[in-house]
Structure 1
Amino acid sequence: MEETRRGTGLIKPAIVAVLICEGAGLIGSFFTRAGLNGWFQTLNKPSFNPPGWVFGPVWTVLYALMGIAAAMIWQHRDTDPEARPALRLFGVQLGLNVLWSAAFFGARSPFAALINIVALWIAVVATTLRFSRISGRAAGLMLPYLAWTTFATVLNAAIWRLNR
């Protein structure tokens, strides 16, 4: 019964959390758009660099999954003492996510972005582990984001190496 009540009460927090995550993506996209034309085109990129059209749909889905995961943890905020610290950590990683776009595209610095994305990767791992202690499902929803962040870290490192 408790799980059913929690599930039905998840819709509103999930919508809010997804909108917050998608909003972070929107903020990051302002930096991305500014640096995408011109500067980014001049960079040497590795053979595994995905085509540009892939990033929008991937990030849209990832932000939605992240928002649902955060809402699932939010449901435990009054009953699990680990929920609030986990949500604060989620906020930290979301902020680092936006800062990556500002560092890479806004500041046009693959090196600064690399430092940022390593911190982001650590924060995503820590968030996923914290979430796993509260909800296995929420942690599972973070795994695609962790996988993409791992790939993005390797891609960022390769771009930095090819252009230093």
Structure 2
Amino acid sequence: MAQRESVWKPVLVAAAAAIAVAALGGTLTDIGPWYQNLKKPSWQPPDWLFGPAWTTIFALAVVSAVSAWRGARDRTRREWIIGLFALNGFLNVLWSTLFFALRRPDWALLEVGFLWLAIALPMAVFWRISKTATLCLVPYLLWVTFAAYLNLTVVRLNAPFG
């Protein structure tokens, strides 16, 4: 029984963390009148696409975390994995806070670079211990790259803020 528990524990912990980050980010994401009145580029995806995109990204992040965790040889590496994902979760929620809750897309634009790095760094670190962990983060990095460009465009179309 202990062996079965140890197999599922990282999966359950990673899934719970991803759900918590997604729920908090989703709670902060208000697409009400302020957001609807922002000028947006014609190439912005429809609002309904963001939910499935983020669900897929978080599901892949869970697979990445579990794969990296299982590939880590010692406690120190596992603590780094937890720290990298915790930093990423914090920055993910911070972006939503800045853009939606504080209504500062300009500040969110500055922050998204740190979020991008918080995806790229684990990808580089994980490559040695689990290529699967790295590859599962590729869609996340691509989405945040696209989102950063979208954020930049929204700032250019609507500035100044504050």
Task: Provide the TM-score with structure 2 as the length reference.
Answer: 0.88
Count of aligned positions: 156
1:28-82 superposed Cα distances (whole Å, 9 cap, x missing partner): 111103xx11100110001211100000011011101101111112224453754
CA distance, structure 2, for counterparts of residue 15 and residue 83 of structure 1: 16
Alignment match, 2:148: 153
Runs of 4+ in structure 1 off by over 3 angstroms are 8-12, 76-83
TM-superposed deviation, 1:117: 0.8
> Could you list the runs of 5+ residues in structure 2 that have no partner in the other structure?
none
Alignment match, 2:14: 17
Residue 30 of structure 1 is aligned with which of 23, 27, 37?
Answer: 27
Alignment match, 2:82: 87
Kindly provide the amino acid, as one letter, of the partner of residue 96 in structure 2: S
TM-superposed deviation, 1:154: 0.6
Kindly provide the amino acid, as one letter, of the partner of residue 34 in structure 2: W
Residue 48 of structure 1 is aligned with which of 27, 43, 46?
Answer: 43
Q: CA RMSD of the aligned region, Å?
A: 1.9
Alignment match, 1:3: none
CA pair 10-162 structure 1, distance change in 2 beyond 3 A? farther
Q: Are the equivalent residues in 2 in contact too, given 1:74–1:83 (CA < 8 A)?
A: yes
Alignment match, 1:118: 113
Alignment match, 1:70: 65
CA pair 106-160 structure 1, distance change in 2 beyond 3 A? same
After the TM superposition, which of the residue ranges 16-25 and 114-123 deviates more from structure 2? 16-25
1:111-137 superposed Cα distances (whole Å, 9 cap, x missing partner): 111111111001111111111121001
Q: Are the equivalent residues in 2 in contact too, given 1:73–1:131 (CA < 8 A)?
A: yes
- 2:66 aligned with 1:39: no
TM-superposed deviation, 1:89: 1.6
Identity of aligned residues (%): 37
After the TM superposition, which of the residue ranges 72-81 and 59-68 deviates more from structure 2? 72-81
- 2:122 aligned with 1:109: no
- 2:128 partner SS: helix
Alignment match, 1:131: 126
CA pair 116-91 structure 1, distance change in 2 beyond 3 A? same
Kindly provide the amino acid, as one letter, of the partner of residue 131 in structure 2: G
- 2:32 partner SS: helix
